[in-house]
Amino acid sequence: MSQKKTWEQEYNKPQLIQISQEPRNDLKRYIKFLKKNEHVVFDGLKILDLGSGNGKHSNYLAQMGDNEVFGFDISLTAVRLAREQAKSLGISVDYRVADIGAKYPFENDNFDLVIDIMSSNSLHEKERAIYLKEVQRILKNGAHFFVRALCKDGDDNAKVLLKQHPGKEYDTYINKDMGLTERVFSREDFINTYSKYFKIQFLEKKTNYAKFKKQSYKRNYWLAYLKKVI
């Protein structure tokens, strides 16, 4: 099953994602960091949400000021849900059905902030290279990039999946229930991958619980605060 069909099915009959309008606390803490440490004023910013889902993060950012917010998602159903929610809130967000592992339809040095909250996990390495180059290309110099990604370090569930259901590429496993290939990163691997394109301001491992088919699984994640510096 293709990624597009998988996520279309997931948004119509959720197994992994939780349909909620409440933005993640990780994003809220990141915004506090930007305001306090980077003196970012959340008004008049141009923001891109990669894998925007039902719009909970894009809509949240759009309500913070006169921000121009774009949301990309591969699922038509997710985009429809996001547009409906934005309309009900009386806000404007440009939601598009788009692949985050393909070239982005924006000019160079154009965005103040890009966020990727668990959306690039299923990219193949060629797609990941495009995604990294495109984010770097569209961000202004000194602009910011927030990433929440799967962590391999200390994650027993990830190690079992890598052993029992290995993918074709390095440190990938196949989620057979959903038909998705997912990538996990060690700390060294994450730094080596992202530091080629961005300055890493902060990198923290976080433990959380993911629900799948009503069962909870302990998982580790990376929270990364990145910045484009030329």
Mean pLDDT of 72-100: 96
Lowest mean pLDDT among 17-21, 61-65, 195-199: 17-21
Residues 88-118: pLDDT tens digits? 999 999 999 999 999 999 999 999 999 999 9
Tokens 């770097």: give the residue: 136
Q: What is the mean pLDDT of the chain?
A: 92
Looking at residue 175, its pLDDT comes to 83
Six-digit token pair at 210? Answer: 């993911």
The pTM of the full predicted model, rounded to 2 decimals, is 0.93
By the 8 A CB rule, do 114 and 133 touch? no
* Residue 6 pLDDT level (bands cut at 50, 70, 90): confident
**In 10 A of CB 195, how many CB atoms?**
12
Among residues 228, 158, 220, which one has the least CA distance to residue 200? Answer: 228
Q: How far apart are CA 159 and CA 207, in angstroms?
A: 15
CA triple 98-42-129, angle to 5 deg: 35
Share of the chain above pLDDT 70, in %: 93
Tell whether the model's pLDDT for residue 213 goes beyond 80: no
Q: How far apart are CA 90 and CA 9, in angstroms?
A: 28
5 or 27, greater pLDDT: 27
**C-alpha dihedral (106, 110, 114, 120), degrees to nearest 10:** 30
Looking at residue 19, its pLDDT comes to 64
215 or 80, greater pLDDT: 80
Q: How many CA atoms lie within 13 A of 44 on its CB side?
A: 2
Which domains are seen in the chain, by residue range? 3-153+186-227 (3.40.50.150)
Tell whether the model's pLDDT for residue 17 goes beyond 80: no
Mean pLDDT of 133-146: 98
Mean pLDDT of 68-85: 95
Among residues 186, 148, 132, 158, which one has the least CA distance to residue 28? Answer: 148
Tell whether the model's pLDDT for residue 178 goes beyond 80: no
Mean pLDDT of 146-168: 95
Tell whether the model's pLDDT for residue 211 goes beyond 80: no
Share of the chain above pLDDT 90, in %: 81
Tell whether the model's pLDDT for residue 166 goes beyond 80: yes
Six-digit token pair at 189? Answer: 């691997």
Q: 219 vs 206, 207, 209, CA distance in Å?
A: 8, 6, 6
Tell whether the model's pLDDT for residue 49 goes beyond 70: yes
